[in-house]
């Protein structure tokens, strides 16, 4: 049992915990924990290979150096990964193609309301629709935005 509790094994566990914490809890919003986790992995591997002595001072200094090195190497690529986001007005969703009947008349100047999943959605005509849709008309969602459904008549 004592053979399992070594500094390299501890560093390996710390690295796994830090990277898991970064991804699962923080949603990859701070990338510092990834750098420290990778530095723990690297230090553990070098200790297993007897390149670094298994002591606290050597492990702490190697983790600091490797954290700095990983930050220099990976800051820009991981930063790009974080900043790649979709247009907030064009999010993929499962509501596109959903059909329902209008409870009230909807036109270019008059919006309606549709209650779906406990939320009152504002209903507007899709840009390509130039007619007034009367209450009871079957419509299909062409695009869903925050709190808003753009619709067209079914079959058009």
Range of the domain at 40: 7-83
Give me the pLDDT at residue 88, please: 60
Identify the sign of the CA torsion 126, 130, 134, 140.
negative
Asked whether residue 54 is domain-assigned, the answer is yes
Q: Which of 3-17, 28-42, 82-96 has the lowest mean pLDDT?
A: 82-96
If asked whether residues 119 and 75 sit together in one domain, one would say no
Evaluate if residue 149 carries a pLDDT over 80.
yes
Q: State whether residue 119 is helix, strand or coil.
A: strand
Q: What's the rounded Cα separation, in Å, for the pair 70 and 154?
A: 54
Phi, psi of 24 (to 5 degrees): -80, -50
Entry pTM:
0.54
If asked whether residues 18 and 76 sit together in one domain, one would say yes
If asked whether residues 65 and 127 sit together in one domain, one would say no
Mean pLDDT computed over 110-121: 89
Give me the pLDDT at residue 2, please: 62
Q: What's the rounded Cα separation, in Å, for the pair 71 and 147?
A: 40
If asked whether residues 109 and 148 sit together in one domain, one would say yes
Evaluate if residue 1 carries a pLDDT over 60.
no
């Amino acid at each position: 049992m004592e053979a399992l509790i070594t500094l390299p094994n501890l560093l390996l566990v710390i690295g796994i915990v830090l990277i898991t914490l970064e991804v699962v809890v923080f949603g990859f919003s701070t990338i510092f924990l990834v750098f420290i986790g990778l530095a723990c992995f690297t230090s553990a591997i070098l200790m297993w290979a007897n390149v670094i002595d298994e002591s606290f001072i050597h492990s702490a200094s190697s983790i600091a150096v490797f954290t700095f090195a990983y930050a220099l190497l990976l800051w820009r690529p991981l930063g790009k990964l974080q900043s790649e986001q979709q247009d907030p007005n064009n999010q993929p969703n499962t509501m596109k193609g959903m059909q329902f009947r209008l409870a009230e008349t909807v036109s270019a100047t008059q919006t309606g309301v549709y209650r779906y999943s406990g939320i009152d959605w504002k209903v507007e005509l899709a840009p390509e629709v130039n007619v007034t849709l009367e209450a009871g008309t079957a419509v299909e969602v062409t695009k869903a935005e925050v709190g808003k459904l753009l619709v067209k008549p079914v079959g058009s």
